Each structure stands twice: as C-alpha cells, then as structure tokens.
Chain A
Amino acid sequence: MNKLIKQIIAILLVIAVFVLLNLSIYKTVTRRFIDTSNKKVKNNTIQLKDYLPFDDKSSVVKVNSKTKITDDIPVLDGATALYPVFSAFANAKYPKDSVSFKDGKFSEKSKLQMNNTRGAYKRVVDGTSDIIFCAQPSKEQLEYAKEKGATLKQVPIGREAFVFIVNSHNSIDNLSVDQIKGIYTGKYTNWKEVGGGDNAIAAVQRNAGSGSQTAMLSFMGKDKMKRDINVFKGSAIGYSFRYYVTDMIGNKDIKMISLNGVYPNEDNIKNGKYQVSSNFYAIYREDNKNPNIEKMINWILSDEGQDIIEKTGYVGA
C-alpha cells in the first residue's frame, strides 16, 4: 500500500511540475502575444478594402487623370504603409476593370496588388509585379536581386517620417536619438533610465526585410541592435512610418513620441525640423520592357502624381 501511495505521489509530482511550467510559460509569455489578436485591436488595423480604387466608400484619394493607361498596364505592388498611395495611382490612371478584389485579396490578374515590402521586392525581381512602392531595399533584398540577375532602379517619389511609438499610458513623450539607440543596443533596459516609470523596456523590432526594419537599421548606423530585448515583459517601444501609425491605424492606444524635442507632425516634417525621415521609391527592374513603366513614373513625379502623394498624407519628392 505504501509503495502504491509513493508511486502515485511520484506521478502526481511529475504532472504538477509540467502543469506549473506550462502555466508560467502561458501567463508570462503566450498570453501577451494572444492579447494582440483581440477583436477591438484588430478593428484598428489596416484593411485593404478601406483603400480600394474605384470604390465610393473607400478612403483612397480620388483624382481623375486626364490620360489613362489602357494597354500594357504595369502591375503595381508595394509596402503596406504605401498602399493608399499606389492604390490612388491605380484609381487615377487605370481602367476600372484592371483591378479585381474578392474575399479580402486581389486576384492574380489584378493590376493592383499588395504583398507588403518583402513580398513586393520578391515579385518585382521575379517579374510578377512591374513597379513597387517601398522604402529602400535591404541588403538581403539587393542580394536576391543580384542572384536573379536583376538590377533595380529606384526613383524617389516622396518622403515620410520614421517615428517611434509607445503605449499611450507610457509617461514618456520624448526621447533623444542617443536614448533610442541606447534602448535598441541594450544600454537602457528600464524606462526609469530614460525618464519614465520603473518598468522594463520591451524594445520590439520588425521582421528582417520589412520597410521599417530597413529604415531602423539605417537610423542605428554603426550601432548594432540587440534582437528583442525584454520582449516578454515590460512596456514596449516600436517604430514605423508616420502615415501608417496615424492615418491608417489611428489607434488611440498608441502614441508617437517626439525625437530630440520635435514632434513628428506634418509641419515639422515639411520644414525639416523632424530630422528622421526617409525617401520612399518607385522601384522597377531596369530590364523590364513595359513601355508604360517610365510613363507611369513620370506621371507620379508630375504635379498630378505629387498632389496624390500629398493629399494621401505624405510629403512629395
């Protein structure tokens, strides 16, 4: 009997160890990531249908160009943050039946696609998209292009501020460039070290190859980022492009912070006071024979195209 009791206790102990282990993993780590998918938060994320061309209910900037492209229509693609811009280009220049959207995505034959930065770079190199609209390519994207024998031409068509974001409950409203670099190199690991409350800093990064990750690497320069310090605990800081954060997401639970005392509003970007801004580009393969690629890019650089960019909320080239 004693032996049986001891055996049962041993088994129960092993079960208890695993239950406790998995509960603590779930409570400290998993649950935090599950919280990011709740309905309320999802409602404030980008929806492709909100910026569809040729749609009366859509928020896309509607400009009717004097000339349309009806043959050899270049396939447009690009970064999520720039989707409202290139969707507006399609709305202005393309015939209505060139774009087809069903069940939350563009069909394969649609001349407007949205595959985000990584997908768009792959597609322009592979030849399935003709012109993509993105931030500058990452090292890996350039290597992929070289591997495939593709030379990419990058034409700057506008500028956008690169911004840093925290939860709106975070007491921090401003950080210096050195402080942000210090956070991402691991020099600062608690908000109190940079003027905030006593809480760990979760310095969250984007995926390699995304537009904002490439821009962040450029911002950091020679300083090496430590991957995801304290991401499982603490209060997060992240980064993105201003338009994506304000107009596309408009989530009141996040806020942009000032950099060196300058807030990234439109005026400060236009007058150059907010110093961290980057070009975004129209990118295409140099050997793409589509005669309308250059016509399209020349139009984008014209008053009509630049007007669309400014009305969408970005700064023109």
Chain B
Amino acid sequence: MSDKVFKRVLYGVLILGILGTAILSAYTIYLFKHLSLLTFIASEGVK
C-alpha cells in the first residue's frame, strides 16, 4: 500500500487501540468505585 494509506491505517489502529484501552480503564475504575467490600472479599477464594 502507499505510504499515505499505510499511515492512515496505522493511525487508525493506534486511535482504536488507545480508545479501547481508555474504555477498559474507565470501566475498571467504575467497577472499583462501586465495589462492595464484603462481596469483594467473599468472592476472592484465595488462601
């Protein structure tokens, strides 16, 4: 592919990747803020 097309595809992939990571991080922070302490400890199952 031409350099122009390649750059566009690459930037597109980068933007999608950063967006995906940002969405996952935001969702994780949302879950953390609504964490039930007791259920968090109960669901652990770690020795």
Residues of A207-237 at the interface with B, using a CB-CB cut-off of 8 Å, are 207, 231, 234-237
Q: Which residues of A contact B13 (CB under 8 A)?
A: 11, 14-15, 18
Given known contacts A22-B20, A25-B21, A36-B36, A199 and B42 CB-to-CB distance under 8 angstroms:
no
Q: How many residues of B contact A (CB 8 A)?
A: 31
CB–CB A41/B42 < 8 A: yes
Q: Which of A15-37 contact B (CB under 8 A)?
A: 15, 17-18, 21-22, 25-26, 29-30, 32-37
A206 at the binding interface (Cβ < 8 Å): yes
With A235-B44, A251-B42 given, is the CB distance from A30 to B31 under 8 Å?
A: yes
Query: What's the least CB distance linking B2 to chain A, in Å?
Result: 10
Whether A165 pairs with B39 at a CB distance below 8 angstroms is no
The 0/1 profile, CB within 8 Å of A marked 1, for residues 13-28 of chain B is 1101110110011011
Query: Chain B contacts of A251 at CB under 8 A?
Result: 38-39, 42
Report whether A170 and B47 are in contact in the complex, using a CB–CB cutoff of 8 Å: yes
List, in ascending order, chain B residues with CB within 8 A of A165's CB. 38, 41
Is A58 interfacial (CB-CB < 8 Å)? Answer: no
> Chain A residue with minimal CB distance to B9?
A11
* B38 and A254 form a contact (CB under 8 A): yes
Label chain B's interface by main secondary structure.
Answer: helix
Interface size (A, Cβ < 8 Å)? 50
Query: Please, which residues of chain B bring their CB within 8 A of the CB of A237?
Result: 41
* Contact A25–B38 (Cβ < 8 Å): no
Given A7-B6, A25-B24: A41 touches B45 (CB 8 Å cut-off): no
Q: Which residues, 230 to 285 on A, are CB-close (under 8 Å) to B?
A: 231, 234-240, 244-245, 249, 251, 253-254
B40 to chain A, nearest CB (A): 5
Name the distance in Å between A114's Cβ and chain B's nearest Cβ.
Answer: 16
In the complex, A197 Cα to B44 Cα: how many Å? Answer: 15
Partner of A235, one of B17, B28, B47: B47
CB distance from A293 to the nearest CB of B (A): 33
Residues of chain B with a CB closer than 8 A to A235's CB: 44, 46-47
Given known contacts A14-B13, A17-B17, A204-B41, is B28 in contact with A45 (CB within 8 Å)? no
18 residue pairs of the A-B complex, CB under 8 angstroms, read A4-B1, A11-B9, A18-B13, A30-B24, A44-B39, A44-B42, A167-B44, A169-B45, A169-B46, A171-B47, A204-B41, A236-B41, A237-B41, A238-B37, A238-B40, A240-B37, A251-B42, A254-B41
